Every structure is written in structure tokens, then in C-alpha cells.
Amino acid sequence: MSPDSHASHAVSAVDRALVVLATLAQQGHPLTATELVRKTGLSQSTLYRQLHALKRWGFVLEVEGRYAPGPLSLQLALGFDMASHLAQQARQDMQVLAQQSQESVGLIVAVNGQAICIEMVESRQALRCSFEKGRSVPLEKGASAKCLLAHLPEVARDAALGATRAGLPQPELLAELDAIRKAGFAVSHGEVDAGVWGVSAPLFAMGQQAVGALTLMAPSVRIQDKHSPLIQMTVVTAARISRSLSTLIH
């Protein structure tokens, strides 16, 4: 085996292990080997090789034939909490926004076609909306997803929309994303979950490429006459966080 082919083989093996880890992380509950084969597209023999190595290192835990992220994955998560510059800078302003609005506020980022919640401040009201920290959903519908899509570089945006598989994205959607960029926020009502209203504003470290989105989410029945002030609160808070991020970078 040549050095180049050996390197390619090593990268492929790493990719396969990361596919297994990403699949386990995205589900939020343990999976059987059969479920993992279906979701990852790996052969059973390849899957078991990856699981064996990941279990040996502590990244995967097996209990009664089901697999879940292991203790070392938890250490990575704790390290992310402590080291995440974006979450650290946004947390205080998110808490203020949650108090002012009395609604839940999330910090969402785009990773490989997924919208992932990396920080969450829950509303204190009994009826509230939430996006569990660490969970991910496809980058397709809702205020968070559209706000992130609208500010992705064109190549990344088209890849997330599946443009390479199904032709160019629909003109209507591209027009909507352009309108979101111009407005500075995205609003959705029941697109992901019935009865949930949300507004999302982009967060910038510098330049025009967003590093995440700040999303306020609320039960539709409670905010019928509050859309405008909630949008304004969210946009102002996002701008404040963006200024903080840009100041620290410079």
C-alpha cells in the first residue's frame, strides 16, 4: 500500500467512526446495531469494527445490545460548554432576553446540514417551548433553520438544501432567504411544531457570515399581540451579542 492510499484508508476509517458518533449524538436515545446499520449506511461488519474501537476508547457505551454516547463523549461535551466562546458570550444576554420576554431563548448553529442547539434558557412559565440543548434537527424548516440558511455561504447553503442532488433550490425559497437577509430576522409559525411561534436573528463575529442564530420561541396562543415587540427584543439582543463578539475578536 502506497503512503497516499494508506492515508486515504485512515481518513475513511476516521470518517466512519465519526458517522457512528454523530448518528448516536443526533438521536438522543440508545440504538441497536440494526438501527445503526440502517441510519449510517455502513455494513454490519464495518459498524461492529467501529463500535469496538469506540467502546475501547470510551466514546460509546453498550447496554443490553444498545449503543449510546459513552463517558468520554460526556467529557467532550463538558469541555465544549467551558470552551465555547459563542455560548459564553451569548449566555448573559440570552438570560436578559428570556426575563424580558418571559419566553424561551436558544442559541442555534448550523453543522453539516443540521441545526444544533448549543445553549438554552428556558421560560419560567408552565406552558413553554423548548429546544433541548445538544439536540439537532434538519436544516429545513422554522425560523432558526431559515435564518442560518439565509446567512450561509452559497455553496454551503446549496449543499444543505440538497441542491447537488436535486437541481437548484426552489426560486421561492431563495427569494424568502434573500428577504430574511435584508430584514435581519426570520419568523415562523407552526412550521416545525404546531402551535409554536419563533423569531430568529443572526449572530455575527465579523463580516456578513453568521456564526449562529439567536431564537426566541413561544406558544402561539400567548403572543398574539406581541409579535412586533418580541421581534424587536430578539434583533436588538442579537446585535448586542454580535458587537461583543466582534469587539473581542479585534
- Asked which of 17, 40, 75 is the last residue of a domain, the reply is 75
Closest CA to 230 of 181, 193, 178, 185: 185
Residues 141, 176: Cα–Cα separation, whole Å: 12
Let me know whether 71 and 88 are in one domain.
no
What's residue 232's pLDDT?
97
What's residue 11's pLDDT?
46
AA letter at 126: A
Let me know whether 94 and 170 are in one domain.
yes
What's residue 168's pLDDT?
61
Residues 63, 34: Cα–Cα separation, whole Å: 15
- Asked which of 75, 109, 128 is the last residue of a domain, the reply is 75
Max mean pLDDT range (80-84, 93-97, 124-128, 225-229): 93-97
Which residue has better confidence, 120 or 81?
A: 120
The pTM (predicted TM-score) of the whole model is 0.70
Closest CA to 188 of 171, 176, 200: 200
What's residue 26's pLDDT?
82
Q: Given a cut of 50, is residue 19 above it in pLDDT?
A: yes
Let me know whether 196 and 124 are in one domain.
yes
The string over 29-62, giving b where at least 16 C-beta atoms fall within 10 Å of a residue's C-beta and e elsewhere, is ebbeeeebbebbebeeeebeebbeebeeeebbbe
Residues 52, 117: Cα–Cα separation, whole Å: 29
Owning domain of residue 25: 3-75
- Asked which of 57, 75, 93 is the last residue of a domain, the reply is 75
Q: Given a cut of 80, is residue 247 above it in pLDDT?
A: no
